[in-house]
A and B are shown apart, each in its own frame.
Chain A
Amino acid sequence: MRNVLTVCPYCGCGCGLYLRVDGKKVLGTLPSKEHPISHGQLCLKGWNVHSFIHSSQRLREPLVKADPAGTYRGTGWDEAYSLITKRLMEIQKKYGSNSIGIIGSAKCTNEESYLLMKFARSVLGTNNIDSCVRLCHAPTIAGLGDSFGFGAMTNSINEIENAKVILVIGSNTTEEHPIVGTRILKAIDQGANLIVVDPRRTQIANISHLHLQPAPGTDLILISGLIRIIIEENLANFDFISRRTENFEVVKESVKKFTPEYVEKTTGLSFSNLRETALMYGHSKASMIIYGMGITQHINGTDTVQAFANLAMLTGNIGRESTGVNPLIGQSNMQGACDMGVLPDYFSGYQSIKDKKNVAKFEKAWSTKLPADKGLSFMEMIKRARQGKIKAMYIVGENVLLSAPNINEAIEALSHLEFLVVQDMFLTETAQLANVVLPSASFAEKNGTFTSTERRVQRIRKCIEPLGGTKPDWQILSELAQRAGYTEMKNKNPREIMEEIASITPIYEGISYEKLDNTAGIQWPCFDKSDTGATFLYKDSFASGKAYFIPVDFTQGSEVPDKEYPYFLIAGRREFQFHTGSMTRKSPTLEREFPYGLVEINPNDADDLKVKSGWRVKIASRHGELETNVSITTAVPEKTVFIPFHFKEGAANLLLGNSDLDPKSKIPEFKVCAVKISSI
């Protein structure tokens, strides 16, 4: 039996675990005790990572759609590659490069994401590349990027336990990021105060000192209100503001309208609770803000993230240990996909494509001519596909249908395409629409690196050979590029790809496999060989010297409950399933915990509706409808219901359809939707 140290492929915590390998089989998982994040612990998903690897549902050979009815025929790699290159080149010629769209994955390694963006820009000649980060954390990338310099967690997971005040907002931490949850518990045990802002009464809300349940979608107002109170109570840190920031006066002016009366009225919270929160946060010198997708998946997403930045700067709670603004990234390598430039407007390391110098640098390194026009984001690609303007898409490891906000719209868009390629381990709902499906290897079958939510770049290691018939994503991309006649992607192995990444990406410049193999990972930025990375950012200066206060204002989304659709719907995840379930639903233990979709309803609402636990109900929004099972719980407040989004039988995304996008980050309004419920 071999024990191979690798990284958990599920959430963004980045736990270190051993896969236990007997011959060609992965038979078990155990946590690493020496690992700085896992400390001998894993969540249930982590303990069961081995269980999807050998699933019989894994794809074992490339599939080509044989007829429009959707029957597939297995084929060899050769034929699949020929077909793909031929069709993509035809489409490129006929409609231009920008008629092709590429969607990357938060589950691919950094090396694979880098190759994908190189493939998109060099071979396909388009900047139309994005990933599901657009559906989760685009506001973080855009928001924190503009305020501080980097769109990433400013501090580290291990610093949480020494914080004095923790403000958790829009994050069901114990279920979504269990290891972060443990550190918060530890902080509380050591005397920290925890404030949780969430319309739902989650586990972390249960153990908080103060639980604020604002009306869904009003977090921005709440934060702006806090900023105003802190200024009025003279808790602003003027020394920090004048030394390290710019534009404070404008924000000071802009929060004036967030009067106690206005905030109370819109959020439904009491002023005394708000004041208590403001005083707690403002008085402490180690206040940490931790937030999740409850914040970002809104039309106000970027503005709210920037309001957090303002709050942190206002009190000087940034640039030191146990402070900062800390987004919890949902998937194992979503941070890495962004770092690697799987974004329509950036090359790897957040080097803007708008900057001519960057373009010239990449053109030289890749011996190619690069497209100059800004690419389309995820939702824009879907929209254009629906309009018939995007003709072909190349999707890697993403079950777009279940993760996009409006399934019906996404199905329509993908069905409109002339050509769709999907690379995945399973024949997901999305793959079932593809013309060609390429079977990829799992994380246990390849080498590479993942970057966790705290910017920690770590090695994942190959434990077994790719299951017969599959190939790692990096190899597929490299071979395909060569087929297309591009010779700059003849990569022998991931190590070599990382060398290329380091040579061209300043924040990864000091990272090499050699260094990673001797450490538990390196937290970027890591600028040179001797650099050991940074546990927290902006100690002495922000990315461009000073941080910037950005004034923000509240935009009311169009999805508010009314007479016809009286309930707020919140969509989110539950602890035992992961994302769209393409991996977790293959594990018997996980599947047993939470086997079907459901809707959580408050007991009073259930009385009104005359429904009982376990009953089937129909839920309809202005955009679609679904049937699911009732679960009655006081975890949701009255007039609010919650649906997890892991299940194709009752996927919350059937109901969302609001085409409002956050103007700054292009994330769709995900979290708030108005619905009606009827028993069947």
Chain B
Amino acid sequence: MNNVKILFKEDINKFVQICLKEAKVIAPFKTTYGDTIFSPVTSPSEVVIDHGYENSIIPPKEFFLPQEETMLTYGRYKEGYKFKPSLADESKRIIFGIRPCDVSAILFLDRFFRSDIEDIYYLKKRENTALISFCCHEPQETCFCICTDSGPFLTYGFDLQFIDLEDRYFVEIGTPKGEKLIKFNKNLFKDVSVADEKLRQEIVESTKNKFKSARAYFSKTIRKLSEGKVDRNVWDELGQRCFSCGGCSYVCPTCSCFDVADLLRSRDGYSRIRTWDSCMFAGFTKEASGHNPRLEKKDRVCRRYYHKLSYQYVEKNETHGCVGCGRCIVTCLGNINMPVVVEKIRRS
């Protein structure tokens, strides 16, 4: 069992204040227009963690793998070419109010960026960032983490996990990094009573029934897909609906593909940038000869879900590539998304 504490809601701002002193705090922020976006905040009043705050439009993976990141700059000078690495940001950061699905996704990304070649741009940022997760009691209509076993309550992965017990939070400490944050202000955090434990249990149980979306039947789908028993028509139909916008990869917290390009960005020279990429683009697999093994949209949709769901990858990644955040449901122009695809495959 994790080490646990109680924090009264009236003290939460004080805790945010402490966090702000320790590190750069990134938290859900509601724009005047009503959209929720993770953004660096400077005061507790900017942090939106009221009861059922919506999960952000794009996941916090952007703080580890930004939409656009400069890796190095170079140019030609009198003395010849000069290269200047633009190293990863090493400042201390706290992502405050990250949702459990997104924590699970970061664990998934960790495995990817550590395996094979260690990606220092990602790992440096990751090392210096603490994740304070807030469990969801009011899942959105699009949420299905319960089917993917990646929320709404986690047993590991977070540095701290907060569970809302009406007037207080049940705080679970997951790592020494989390422990340290609590230690800074010991008297804010109280001991847990038996009643607290009981309430926590009740809330965990009752939340499970609040998930609206039909349960996605992952295991059957994974089996069918891995055994190659999916009717071609499924991909044909889905391919007809894809606009190749790339949104599904951009908003997916477990998608890690990026592209590297050298761009002439200033008079002195080039910037080597990396940007988000997507397997839904034709250019993603196009070869130098012009040949493209996945020219057709249906092949790309198929590939995407194969990568997320087939045994081959599930084994390699230790889990399937979906954490049930529901973002692809919102963002897909063609209404192609994980629950729809899972259902189509199951029925095919």
Contact = CB atoms under 8 A, between A and B. Distances in A.
A594 B277 CA distance: 15
B40 A1 contact: yes
Contact of B243 (A20, A189, A575): A575
Main secondary structure on A side of the interface with B:
mixed
A31 interface: yes
B247 A42 contact: yes
B259 A28 contact: no
Interface size range of chain A in the complex: 35 or more
A41 B37 contact: no
A54 B265 contact: yes
A614 B283 contact: no
A47 B330 contact: no
Interface residues of B, number: 43
Interface string B234-261: 0000001101111100100000000101
Interface stretch (B27-35, B153-161, B206-214): B27-35
B333 A41 contact: yes
Contact of B67 (A29, A34, A186, A206): A29
A46 B243 CA distance: 13
Nearest to A517: B32
B340 to A, nearest CB: 11
A593 interface: yes
A54 B270 CA distance: 12
B107 interface: no
B135 interface: no
A30 B330 CA distance: 13
B72 interface: no
A231 interface: no
Interface in B293-348: 330-335
B275 A588 contact: yes
A43 B335 contact: no
A124 to B, nearest CB: 35
A588 B331 contact: no
Given A1-B39, A5-B33, A29-B67, A589 B275 contact: yes
B80 interface: no
A182 B334 contact: yes
B62 interface: yes
Interface stretch (A134-142, A173-181, A367-375): A173-181
Nearest to A631: B290
B40 to A, nearest CB: 6
A182 B66 CA distance: 28
Contact of B246 (A20, A47, A57, A186): A47
A164 interface: no
A207 B334 CA distance: 11
A576 B283 CA distance: 11
B264 interface: yes
Contacts of A57: 264
B246 A44 contact: yes
A35 interface: yes
B266 interface: yes
A40 B245 contact: no
Interface in A590-608: 592-594
A42 to B, nearest CB: 7
B281 interface: yes
A213 interface: no
23 contacts: A5-B35, A18-B35, A27-B66, A30-B58, A33-B36, A40-B330, A41-B330, A43-B243, A44-B281, A47-B246, A50-B67, A56-B265, A178-B245, A182-B333, A185-B335, A520-B33, A589-B259, A589-B277, A592-B259, A592-B281, A592-B286, A593-B281, A614-B290
Interface of A: 1, 3, 5, 16, 18, 20, 27-35, 39-44, 46-47, 50-51, 54-57, 174, 178-179, 181-182, 185-186, 189, 203, 206-207, 520, 575-576, 588-589, 592-594, 614
Interface of B: 29, 31, 33-37, 39-40, 57-58, 62, 66-68, 240-241, 243-247, 250, 259, 261, 263-267, 275, 277, 281-283, 286, 290, 330-335
